[in-house]
Structure 1
């Protein structure tokens, strides 16, 4: 429901209204209008538009009728003045690039630091900083298992300057390097650190906590990996599942059907829906098989004549959707716990969406399921516990899953869209 999005800003409210008021005729399984919408960058706020909105909320006034070049110059001048007052350094060239709208900044550590500098320069509080990261930058905010970002959180919450934050970071890291005391080996989760940081009012409290729990820092995605592992264990096939399928091909008794319920969800899905014979010789315990069943087809990869093609290169979707789209590679990275926050978040959304769709299809007819709200609430619980931002209708990747979730047959719609965007043509 619309009111399930908490206190939306003007842009978010506009996106919510569009989301609920726009309907596409998909009776003939033609999702061209959906794909066109997802491919139109203007339907989603660009980074420069979001940054401009924020500086307008914090003192910037723009003259009417200016050319794009003059608007960029005015905006850059405003921020440079703000940063000079606060002794924050971001190059004029970097600001011009961010306001140009040419490309959304990546989510590397160096870019995250620039985003935090912008937040300090605009005097954003914790809530505004979180909004800026989640709704403009499209990445998690305040990774408090990182010493730098824990300090940024402490300083923004307690209205300390960026200069103060940088000096405190150096102090904490120097003390950590000198500290030889044995630290607690107890596993500390992100939310626990955040809760502790909420009550710190002095740097001494912060420093003492870091020294006492130094092994907890710089080990990321602990809760997210746990959530991912739980989902993967439910969904992915197992070697022994093949024996169940073999028995079911010969005899169909209650015992075999009870055994089928113990198989991975994709194996159950494969059996019940009699998916393509292309999977006949596939390893049902493999990631390839799992993704094939979830997507309903193989994501394109290989060669078409002399041209190489892949989902990341050729799928007819905005780059921000295709970037780190769940694949064999990102699943492998997750299994090695060497994965970016963006990639992990996208995997969690895909796997939870699939599991939720499967469970909804298996539910008794008299079991009332409000698919959209129930999925969104359950998904947001997982994201929140993992220290990640909730589903956001202004994020194109999230929009895809939210749209499917409001349809009558969410998984079928999702698979049809994926199949359509993967269709290769001469233009790609």
Structure 2
């Protein structure tokens, strides 16, 4: 804001709020969402609704490079994940200096697109085509055939998560043949395998010892049940659940006896994880995000699952 000519200090919250509200009205033609106002007040920015993230950048008159840096520094995620229709539209508009109204129009058109079951074009190829296509109609047609909407992203994520959960549950049953585990108890046991504690226990102690961006939207037996039954779940919950499941399933079948093997397994796990996230249009791992960083930190140990459980239980003291 200071670069845009508004004299203010980091603690001038009311001044910044008033300016952001004005800019949303002037440049975007709409009111500033409550979520964005809460970011200005100091709440950690979320990425569940990535349109809010891009809208704020548009309101602040950022270009493509400034938006990319803002995402990495403040949202702690990578920008322009072009398998997503929202990200693809905003990359197109920022790259070609299109007005915000063009982004709105393209997003409205994309809401009527039929899900493309075979939209598996590589991200690099999609990005390359976008950066060569300065034509709204041509871009819109390409978008309809090669990018995912939120609904399709979440459907694919749930499908992957359910398959991963089945692997965990088979592992649980294999080593607990005497217990009669109901579906609910299996969900609770799955969370214990992933995080090392039962949901019924107080999570406040754990939340105090770890960054909020790590602990928020972690799965529990209730939210795991919602995912399994195709009920509403946030982007962050789906992404973290998927990552934890892949982590557990990978390292429950892997041994890290020495440094070289640990490093090789880490690279394999990292590649598998990013490929899984990519397959449903989710942002790949980003080491500046506390959750991504700590998960890979645990993977880079001789006993990754136990290390993660220790981190969850005691924090990094």
Taking structure 2 as the reference length, what is the TM-score of the superposition?
0.72
Offset of residue 345 of structure 1: 0.9
CA deviation string 1:138-173 (max 9, x = no partner): 567568787666543432233211133234445x37
CA contact (8 A) 2:206 2:314 kept: no
Is residue 333 from structure 1 mapped to residue 226 from structure 2 by the alignment?
yes
Q: Which residue of 1 aligns with 2:277?
A: 383
CA deviation string 1:189-221 (max 9, x = no partner): 375698265654312224445677999774333
Q: C-alpha separation between the residues in 2 aligned to 1:69 and 1:329?
A: 39
Q: Which residue of 1 aligns with 2:190?
A: 290
CA contact (8 A) 1:139 1:341 kept: no
Q: Which residue of 2 aligns with 1:220?
A: 153
> For structure 2, which runs of at least 5 residues remain unmatched after alignment?
none
Taking structure 1 as the reference length, what is the TM-score of the superposition?
0.56
Q: Which residue of 2 aligns with 1:46?
A: none
- Pick aligned residue for 2:137 from 204, 213, 222: 204
> For structure 1, which runs of at least 5 residues remain unmatched after alignment?
1-54, 177-182, 238-263, 272-278, 302-309, 422-428
Q: C-alpha separation between the residues in 1 aligned to 2:33 and 2:223?
A: 35
Offset of residue 339 of structure 1: 2.2
CA deviation string 1:204-262 (max 9, x = no partner): 2244456779997743334433432442232222xxxxxxxxxxxxxxxxxxxxxxxxx
Q: 1:283 to 1:216 in 2, by over 3 A?
A: same
Secondary structure (helix, strand or coil) at the match of 1:334 reads helix
Offset of residue 412 of structure 1: 1.5
Q: 1:113 to 1:291 in 2, by over 3 A?
A: closer
CA contact (8 A) 1:221 1:386 kept: yes
CA contact (8 A) 1:145 1:219 kept: no
CA contact (8 A) 1:133 1:139 kept: yes
Q: 1:300 to 1:87 in 2, by over 3 A?
A: closer
Q: Which residue of 2 aligns with 1:22?
A: none
Q: 1:127 to 1:214 in 2, by over 3 A?
A: closer
Offset of residue 347 of structure 1: 0.8
Q: 1:388 to 1:127 in 2, by over 3 A?
A: farther
Is residue 281 from structure 1 mapped to residue 174 from structure 2 by the alignment?
no
Q: C-alpha separation between the residues in 1 aligned to 2:259 and 2:301?
A: 19
Q: 1:129 to 1:312 in 2, by over 3 A?
A: farther
Q: C-alpha separation between the residues in 1 aligned to 2:22 and 2:286?
A: 32
Is residue 166 from structure 1 mapped to residue 104 from structure 2 by the alignment?
yes
Q: Which one has the largest radius of gyration? A: 1
Is residue 100 from structure 1 mapped to residue 41 from structure 2 by the alignment?
yes
Is residue 69 from structure 1 mapped to residue 26 from structure 2 by the alignment?
no
Q: C-alpha separation between the residues in 2 aligned to 1:93 and 1:299?
A: 30
Q: Which residue of 1 aligns with 2:245?
A: 351
CA contact (8 A) 1:345 1:383 kept: yes
Q: Which residue of 1 aligns with 2:119?
A: 189
Offset of residue 125 of structure 1: 5.1
Q: C-alpha separation between the residues in 2 aligned to 1:215 and 1:293?
A: 32
Offset of residue 61 of structure 1: 8.2
Q: 1:331 to 1:417 in 2, by over 3 A?
A: same
Q: C-alpha separation between the residues in 2 aligned to 1:124 and 1:75?
A: 16
- Pick aligned residue for 2:254 from 353, 357, 360: 360
CA deviation string 1:365-389 (max 9, x = no partner): 8994414333333322322333222
Q: Which residue of 2 aligns with 1:404?
A: 298
Q: C-alpha separation between the residues in 2 aligned to 1:343 and 1:295?
A: 14
Q: 1:198 to 1:351 in 2, by over 3 A?
A: farther
Question: How many residue pairs end up in the alignment?
Answer: 307
